[in-house]
């Protein structure tokens, strides 16, 4: 296996050409009017966050303008406390937090600190976990009110807590983030490196009471984007804390992910689904690649090469099969999927299979910038 430097040198032309395609496309797309969006959606910040990444690299003012417009429209959600849930990191940290680091805008800083405070307020004492939703029964999964749920997705929201502690010089946010990450290792991470998507906890001990299939095919399945959240989420916890157990967890899940998709490097929606029909999820691959690159950077050159090799293979496969770099179209990475379709429960036409998903574009752009050597991490 080649080391990281050798792999980056070998793929240098492709990486540079791919970023040029991204910039050529997005510099046109960002100038078009945006369709109305729901500020309360957990995906609401990804468009602006993608523009932040591109502005930081190119200094194209159109990107900055678009990012700020997205941020301002989301104030409606930020000041509606009862509508907020665990995904405030997705919504504000990669947008407002990133904008503050680039521009020094005090309003962006304040938005991010408010979002961090909201997330910290969801921490359950004794159980040592951050509650995912206000009422999980609204998701339609259990037929009863469930309040003590976590989902693996929340690993991606912890960086806003680490940032808040770093910014204000008080470790209380960081301690909450680490307590949740430790609980996730104990209750979400399986021995084979896969992860549960959803876990109900005992409120006093934090122990797992029951697990749910969530967006995978069934209970005990292996939803690929959940694995990706774990890879990158644990890697980010390591990046912010330097605690080796988080890097070890990220590697464990990454090894499992690589083994499950290395035939063609295109992740299926669920790694434990039947071999037919084949349903892909490019958003899982793009996010996992970001995490693998961070793992590679944290390791010695030779060991890191395993993860850098996989990240590049995944990104190249996605770009070749599902990339649309035509400036005339809005979508860039196709082949994303919201959840695995389950006959009689989640019909194919209601499962968002093989479509454009905005966070595929975000993570693909982020991954390519990492490969180019960018030291700016929006997390």
Residue 148 has pLDDT above 70, yes or no: yes
Taking residues 106-124, report their average pLDDT. 98
pLDDT at 152 > cutoff 60: yes
pLDDT at 285 over 70: yes
With contact defined as beta carbons under 8 Å apart, do 260 and 271 qualify? yes
Look over the chain and give the mean of its residue pLDDT values, rounded to a whole number: 96
User: pLDDT for 302-314, tens place per residue?
Assistant: 999 999 999 999 9
CB of 276 closer than 8 Å to CB of 246: no
Tokens of 106: 């005090």
pLDDT confidence of residue 145: 57
Q: Which of 25-34, 66-75, 139-148, 368-377 has the lowest mean pLDDT?
A: 139-148
Which pLDDT value is given to residue 243? 98
Reduced DSSP (H G I as helix, E B as strand, rest coil) percent helix, strand, coil of the chain, to 5: 55, 5, 35
* Confidence band of 202 (pLDDT split at 50, 70, 90): very high
On the question of pLDDT at 125 being above 60, the answer is yes
Assign 147 a pLDDT band (cuts: 50, 70, 90).
confident
Q: Is 150 helix (H, G, I), strand (E, B) or coil?
A: strand
pLDDT the model gives residue 140: 52
Q: What is the predicted pLDDT for the residue at 82? A: 86
What is the mean predicted confidence (pLDDT) over 168-193? Answer: 98
Res. 146 pLDDT band, cuts 50 70 90: low
Residue 194: band (very low, low, confident or very high) from pLDDT cuts 50, 70, 90: very high
For 140-281, strand residue ranges (E) read 149-151, 198-201, 208-212
Taking the CA atoms of the chain, what radius of gyration do you get in angstroms? 19
**What would the pLDDT profile of 27-69 be if each residue is shown by its tens digit?**
999 999 988 889 999 999 999 999 999 999 999 999 999 999 9
pLDDT of residue 345: 87
Catalytic residue among 62, 105, 153, 330: 153
pLDDT of 372 strictly over 90: yes
Catalytic residue among 23, 75, 87, 324: 87
- Catalytic, 153? Answer yes
> Does 142 or 156 have the greater pLDDT score?
156
Answer whether CATH 1.50.10.10 is correct for domain 4-372: yes
- Report whether pLDDT(141) > 80: no
Domains in the chain: boundaries? 4-372
pLDDT of the residue at 344: 85
**In degrees rounded to 5, what are phi and psi of residue 212?**
-130, 150
3-state secondary structure the chain: CCCHHHHHHHCHHHHHHHHHHHHHHHHHHCCCCCCCCCCCCCCCCHHHHHHHHHHHHHCCHHHHHHHHHHHHHCHHHHCCHHHCCCCHHHHHHHHHHHHHHHHCCHHHHHHHHHHHHHHHCCEECCCCEECCCCCHHHHCCCCCCCCCEEEHHHHHCCHHHHHHHHHHCCCHHHHHHHHHHHHHHHHCECCCCCECCEEEECCCCCCEEEEECCCCCCCCCCEHHHHHHHHHHHHHHHHHHCCHHHHHHHHHHHHHHHHHHCCCCCCECECCCCCCCCCECHHHHHHHHHHHHHHHHHCCHHHHHHHHHHHHHHHHHHHHHHECCCCCCCCCECCECCCCCECCCECHHHCCCCECCHHHHHHHHHHHHHHHCCCCCCC
């Amino acid at each position: 296996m080649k080391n990281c430097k050798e792999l980056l040198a070998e793929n240098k032309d492709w990486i540079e050409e791919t970023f040029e395609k991204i910039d050529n496309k997005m510099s046109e797309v960002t100038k078009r009017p945006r369709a109305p969006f729901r500020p309360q959606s957990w995906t609401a910040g990804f468009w602006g966050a993608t523009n932040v990444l591109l502005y930081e690299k190119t200094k194209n003012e159109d990107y900055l303008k678009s990012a700020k417009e997205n941020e301002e429209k989301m104030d409606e959600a930020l000041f509606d406390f009862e509508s907020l849930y665990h995904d405030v990191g997705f919504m504000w940290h990669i947008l407002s937090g990133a904008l503050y680091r680039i521009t020094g805008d005090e309003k962006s800083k304040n938005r991010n600190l408010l979002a961090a405070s909201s997330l910290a307020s969801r921490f359950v004492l004794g159980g040592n976990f951050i509650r995912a939703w206000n009422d999980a029964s609204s998701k339609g999964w259990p037929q009863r009110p469930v309040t003590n749920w976590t989902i693996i997705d929340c690993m991606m929201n912890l960086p806003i807590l680490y940032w808040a502690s770093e910014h204000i010089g008080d470790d209380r946010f960081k301690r909450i983030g680490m307590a949740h990450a430790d609980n996730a290792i104990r209750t979400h991470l399986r021995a084979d490196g896969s992860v549960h998507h959803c876990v109900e906890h005992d409120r006093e001990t934090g122990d797992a009471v029951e697990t749910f299939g969530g967006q995978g095919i069934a209970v005990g399945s292996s939803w690929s984007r959940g694995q990706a959240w774990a890879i990158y989420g644990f890697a980010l916890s390591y990046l912010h804390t330097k605690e080796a157990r988080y890097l070890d967890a990220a590697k464990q899940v990454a090894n499992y992910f690589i083994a499950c998709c290395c035939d063609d490097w295109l992740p299926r929606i669920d790694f434990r689904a039947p071999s037919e029909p084949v349903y892909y999820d490019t958003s899982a691959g793009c996010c996992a690649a970001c995490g693998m690159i961070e793992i590679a950077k944290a390791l010695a050159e030779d060991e890191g090469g395993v993860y850098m090799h996989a990240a590049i293979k995944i990104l190249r496969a996605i770009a070749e099969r599902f990339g649309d770099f035509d400036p005339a179209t809005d979508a860039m990475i196709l082949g994303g999927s919201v959840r695995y379709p389950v006959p009689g429960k989640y019909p194919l036409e209601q499962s968002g299979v093989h479509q454009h998903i905005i966070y595929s574009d975000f993570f693909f752009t982020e991954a390519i910038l990492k490969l180019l050597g960018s030291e700016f991490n929006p997390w």
